[in-house]
Amino acid sequence: MWRKRQLVGARREVTQRKVITSQPMTIRQVAKVLREILVSASRSKKLEKIVSTSPLSKGVVNRFVAGYGTADVVKKVAELHQLGIYTTIDRLGEDTLDLSQADQTVAAYKELLRALHTAGQTHMAEVSVKLSAVGQALGADGEKIALENAKQIVEVANEVGTTVTFDMEDHTTIDSTLRILNEIRKTTPSIGGVLQAQLHRTSDDVSAHAFSGSRIRLCKGAYAEGPEVAFVERAEIDKAYVRDMRTLLESAAYPMLATHDPRLIEIGQALALRTGRAKDSFEFQMLLGVRPEEQKRLVELGYKVRVYVPYGDEWYGYLMRRMAEKPSNLALFVKSLASKS
């Protein structure tokens, strides 16, 4: 019922805007309206309660989010590991606004890493960390705070025999994130980073990080960025992804190709074959719950597949924000619900 009300509300708003402008809305305008609705919904505690308690939403959440606590996510990754699928685990929570919140995030990652070790799962699991969640946005000292907190997480990851990938966020955080990545790599070269193909600057960043041992996750980019810093047309983004993917696969780096796009996966396979890469010298990455049958198919073909596994009690905001950031994300979630392939 709540979904029906939301859809009715969205249609009503679109209709009202059409009446006001007396002009048909473009796809971009419709997307903007939808984005505004989803962002507003992500902040609504009332709607969150309705969604959280709805039997209908439970299945959606269970598919895309591993659970609330450490035990939940350890159980989920163990199930994936049994299928031959590797994992990278993200504790949900962004917009850290004070030191105590950052400290809680660091403590949660340490607990998770030790729990994975106790369960014997660190051989196939790593963790993904948003630097904004460990203090990056805390004023003038934010980068220093995030660096020190990231080092603590990396130290525990080293102790238990796994590693960390630092997630990339919107374009305003890139330079800070890369500085932290490069600083920690001085002592822990296995640390991974993320680059987003949709950004104009990314080809240069890829070239700068395409060296031996460099672990780079290449994604299209989840954040809504303006044309002054990013490609906005799908075809342009796809071309940029292929260019950057080729650079990584032809280099001595360790590429982590994050995409659900069947065409890009096929191109990645072809490029790897052409460059003579072994199947275990790179990996494909996908989100938990999206195209699970394709994940299994790639594993059966001998490719390394890693699934991005989010967990935590902030799942509601996570799902809403991911869909708001790009209308294509909403389509991705809807399609994955309709089909398990």
217, 306, 321, 322: the active-site residue: 217
How buried is 229 (Cβ within 10 angstroms: 0-12 exposed, 13-18 middle, 19+ buried)? middle
> What span, in angstroms and rounded, lies between the C-alpha atoms of 301 and 299?
5
Structure tokens at 36: 């505004």
How buried is 280 (Cβ within 10 angstroms: 0-12 exposed, 13-18 middle, 19+ buried)? exposed
DSSP-derived secondary structure letter, 189: T
Annotated catalytic residue 277:
no
Residue 15 Cα distances to 9, 21, 31, angstroms: 10, 10, 14
Q: What sign for the dihedral angle of Cα 105, 113, 209, 198?
A: negative
> What span, in angstroms and rounded, lies between the C-alpha atoms of 194 and 191?
11
Angle between helix 99-118 and 142-160 (nearest 10): 10
Annotated catalytic residue 238:
no
Give the residue among 69, 177, 179, 68 at the shortest CA–CA distance from 129. Answer: 177
90, 91, 167, 322: the active-site residue: 167
> What span, in angstroms and rounded, lies between the C-alpha atoms of 67 and 78?
13
- CA atoms within 13 A of residue 246's CA, in its CB half-sphere: 10
Hey, which residues are catalytic here?
167, 217
